């Protein structure tokens, strides 16, 4: 996908047992500042996650994942992080963590349509 806007994205991963390093891709976050776009799509495949760790607390994982789109939208629903400028929120979301919710390294591309690109990345990286 080529286009006039440069974007950055990261794949959202669930790592049920961090010490084992096994992961499942569950979403994508995409930032395109020139189009004033920051959003995430998440699709949690419970069966795949439970195959890696039958004791995983799915409700807790879902709750943590639900925070990501709220931070993308910003405003009061995202708490103090929501008050940050859009680009700062992206950098906060993709910063390295050692929890069960982790992000891939950030990758860059070009697009004419960030929403369509986000959907394409979800199809390619998660589904």
The whole model's pTM is what?
0.94
Structure tokens at 108: 């860059």
Token digits of residue 101: 């919710």
Question: How far apart are the C-alpha atoms of 16 and 55, rounded to whole Å?
Answer: 9
Domain that holds residue 36: 5-125
CA–CA distance, 44 with 42 (Å, rounded to integer): 6
Q: pLDDT per position in the chain (127 positions), as tens?
A: 457 999 999 999 999 998 998 999 999 999 999 999 999 999 999 999 999 999 999 999 999 999 999 999 998 889 999 999 999 999 999 999 888 999 999 999 999 999 999 999 999 999 9
Phi/psi of residue 65, each to 5°?
-65, -35
Structural domain tally of the chain? 1
The 10 Å Cβ neighbour count of residue 123 is: 11
């Amino acid at each position: 996908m080529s286009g006039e806007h440069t974007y950055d994205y990261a794949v959202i991963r669930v790592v049920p047992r961090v010490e084992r390093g096994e992961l499942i891709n569950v979403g994508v976050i995409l930032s395109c500042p020139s189009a004033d776009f920051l959003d995430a799509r998440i699709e949690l495949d419970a069966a795949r996650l439970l195959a890696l760790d039958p004791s995983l607390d799915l409700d807790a994982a879902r709750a943590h994942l639900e925070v990501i789109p709220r931070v993308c939208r910003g405003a009061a629903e995202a708490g103090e992080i929501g008050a940050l400028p859009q680009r700062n929120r992206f950098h906060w979301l993709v910063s390295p963590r050692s929890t069960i919710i982790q992000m891939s390294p950030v990758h860059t591309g070009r697009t004419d349509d960030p929403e369509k690109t986000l959907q394409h990345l979800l199809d390619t990286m998660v589904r």
